[in-house]
Structures are given as structure tokens and as C-alpha cells.
Structure 1
């Protein structure tokens, strides 16, 4: 039970936000496996039972964190493709850069997002993922209408560029490739994608 001091300190969802902030710091520093609701409660200064008012179990906190991650990623992608005055190839490049930099800025969070998206029963997380990547699918449809990309399933065409950029960022996050090569490799990947997916 949360005492009066906890209620006054964390009202109107402040405790939920504090727990999510602490959880994100924890997975960044120690990884998902070490995340503990009890440890988070201790870090934010509430009783060990207090987090369960917002997150009945550890997985519900991880799901919420993954949804936040997809919301941030979606915001970056939408901003990247929002300038309709830019040429189509430039907007594809900016979308790829948005994902690539998010992935390398937030490797632990992205790993959680990907793992949680495919967890059975995590319907809200796949929905968040679909919303995040929707601007890229819209961009691919636009490219098809402009005859810059071949006809076909936008999801299948998008999967190619996603897999390529995801592969590059994974190699960087694991130390197989130097981080300073990110932009050049992403540009190369986009150029090859546009050539390969052309009509």
C-alpha cells in the first residue's frame, strides 16, 4: 500500500513516468535481464509494492517501455519525411537516417522493442510498431505512384530497406563496424535500395 508521502510525491501518473524513466536507464546500463520492479521502486523511492499499481507484472512495464520507444521512433520518422518539397530519394534517405540513428542511440531499447513486438499476446506493441513505420509505407506507396519504385506489396519492398539498415545498425551496436561509418553506409544502402527497387 502506498503511504501518504508517496501519494503526494507521485500523483496523476508521475509514478508511472518515474518508473518508466528508471526502467529505461536500467536497461541502457545493465540490459533487460537485470530489470527488477523491486529495484526500480527502490530507485524512485517508493515501497516495493507501489509499482504494481501501474504495472501488475514486469512484462507490463516492458510492454509500456516498448510502446514508448515506438512512439519516439515514429516521431523521428514522421519528422524526417514530412517535407513534401524534398525529392523522393532524399526523403527515403532521411527516413533511413532517422531509423539508423535511433537504433544506434538506443540499442538496448530497440532490442526490447523488437523482442516485445513478437511476444504472443502483446497486441498493443505490434500496433505501436505499425504506427511508427506507417510513414515509411506511405512513402513507398508515394514512390510507386511516382514510378520511382516498382509495383508490389509496400510491406515487402519496405522490408528490404528495413532489414538492410537494421543489419548495419546491429553490426555497429555489436562493435563489428565503427560507429562513424553509419551515415556513409546508410547512404550507400539507400542508393542501392532505390536502384534495386526501381521499376
Structure 2
């Protein structure tokens, strides 16, 4: 009796192969993290040969950078549209940041270089997109702090949200806990440690 063989990958039919390859890479990221990325497997899932992928990407590092670009753009947009009042509330931005990481753990890890530190360190696009996301965090502080304090406060907030995000996606919290309530409580507490105008607090 012949042994079962894996079902063939669906054949590629539409015109945007680059986007299809990135979408397949993103699925792989969420299935197995950055180490799961493979040009051969990405191409197989799209239904093309590996050489066909090289018409759009110079190699796996190039695919990883393109995926990270998408991730940072989505992260910045999610923070940008988070609700804030005229006083510049901080907690909704932090919730949006951590929510993105929780929704896209594999992509989030990749964005900060997991498995691709050398490629990302040398890429100006990644540095620019990280700066753009950092700028969204800083923008919420402009209504609360004097200009000379914004940089330090933004770094504090980024460190806090990045750390919370990693703890969440690593499963380091009680699985029975209300994650959203816990994140909100930590972010409120962090706001009390920042200089404020009047009675303003991060909520």
C-alpha cells in the first residue's frame, strides 16, 4: 500500500506574488516564531518554487525585514488611533501597544530582531520604523511634560510596555488573571510616577 503523501500546496494564481509570500511568512511566524521562517516553506505554501521567491526577495533576511516593516507600520497605526483626550492619556496607547504584541506574538518577536539581529542592526528601514513607533509614544507626552523631559519619559514608557508585552506573550502571568485589567492597572500606576500638570493622571 503506498504511503500517504502531504497534500500539494495550492497553485499560485493571482498577480501579487510578493504580498502572497509575505502573508505566508506571517502565518509561519505565528505558527512557530521567527525560527520557523523558511523561503522554501513560504514558497511551498504559496504554490510556487523557491527560485520564484528570489525574484522578489534577495533572501530570508530580506523577507524578515519586509515583515518587520509591516509590523512596525501596523503597531504605529494602532497606537495612533488609540483614544486619548486633550490631556494626552497614556494608558490607551500602552494598551494598544501591548494588544498588538498579544495579537501578533511571532511578528512582534521578529520586529525586535529575534533570529535576525545582524540583518536588522544594519537596516536603516528598521531603525526608521522603530523611531516612528517611538514617536507615537512620545506624542502622548507632549501635553503632560516639558520638552526636556519627554525623551526620558518616553523611554520609560517604551521599556514598560515592551517588558509587559514580552511577559504576556511568554505566558508569565497567571492564566486565570484578567490580563486587560492587569495591564491597565500597571499602566495607571506608571502614570502616577510621571510628572503631571494639575491633577492629570494616566488612565
TM range (shorter): 0.7 to 0.9
CA distance in structure 2 between the aligned counterparts of 1:23 and 1:57, rounded to whole angstroms: 13
Contact between 2:21 and 2:53, CA under 8 Å: does it hold in 1?
yes
Partner of 1:64: 66
1:191 to 165, 188, 193: 188
Query: Is there any run of 5+ residues in structure 1 with no aligned partner, and where?
Result: 146-150
**Given the superposition, is the C-alpha separation of residues 37 and 99 from structure 1 closer, same or farther in structure 2, using an over 3 Å criterion?**
same
CA distance in structure 1 between the aligned counterparts of 2:21 and 2:50, rounded to whole angstroms: 12
SS of 2:191's equivalent? Answer: helix
CA distance in structure 2 between the aligned counterparts of 1:140 and 1:45, rounded to whole angstroms: 47
Shift of 1:168: 2.0
TM-score (norm 1): 0.82
Higher deviation after alignment, 153-162 or 34-43: 153-162
TM-score (norm 2): 0.80
SS of 1:41's equivalent? Answer: helix
Is 1:171 the counterpart of 2:167? The answer is yes
CA distance in structure 2 between the aligned counterparts of 1:48 and 1:117, rounded to whole angstroms: 24
User: RMSD of aligned C-alpha atoms?
Assistant: 2.2
Partner of 1:148: none
Contact between 2:32 and 2:106, CA under 8 Å: does it hold in 1?
no
Higher deviation after alignment, 174-183 or 118-127: 174-183
Partner of 1:121: 122
CA distance in structure 2 between the aligned counterparts of 1:140 and 1:175, rounded to whole angstroms: 30
**Given the superposition, is the C-alpha separation of residues 69 and 117 from structure 1 closer, same or farther in structure 2, using an over 3 Å criterion?**
farther
Alignment of 1:2-21 (within 5 A): 9-11=13-15, 14-21=16-23
2:94 to 93, 96, 100: 96
CA distance in structure 2 between the aligned counterparts of 1:103 and 1:72, rounded to whole angstroms: 11
Shift of 1:192: 2.0
Query: Is there any run of 5+ residues in structure 2 with no aligned partner, and where?
Result: 1-10, 197-203
Alignment of 1:32-111 (within 5 A): 32-81=34-83, 83=84, 86-88=85-87, 91-111=89-109
More helix as a share of residues: 1
CA distance in structure 1 between the aligned counterparts of 2:41 and 2:96, rounded to whole angstroms: 33
Show structure 1 runs of 4+ deviating over 4 A: none
Contact between 1:165 and 1:189, CA under 8 Å: does it hold in 2?
no
Shift of 1:41: 1.0
Contact between 1:117 and 1:129, CA under 8 Å: does it hold in 2?
no
Shift of 1:181: 3.1
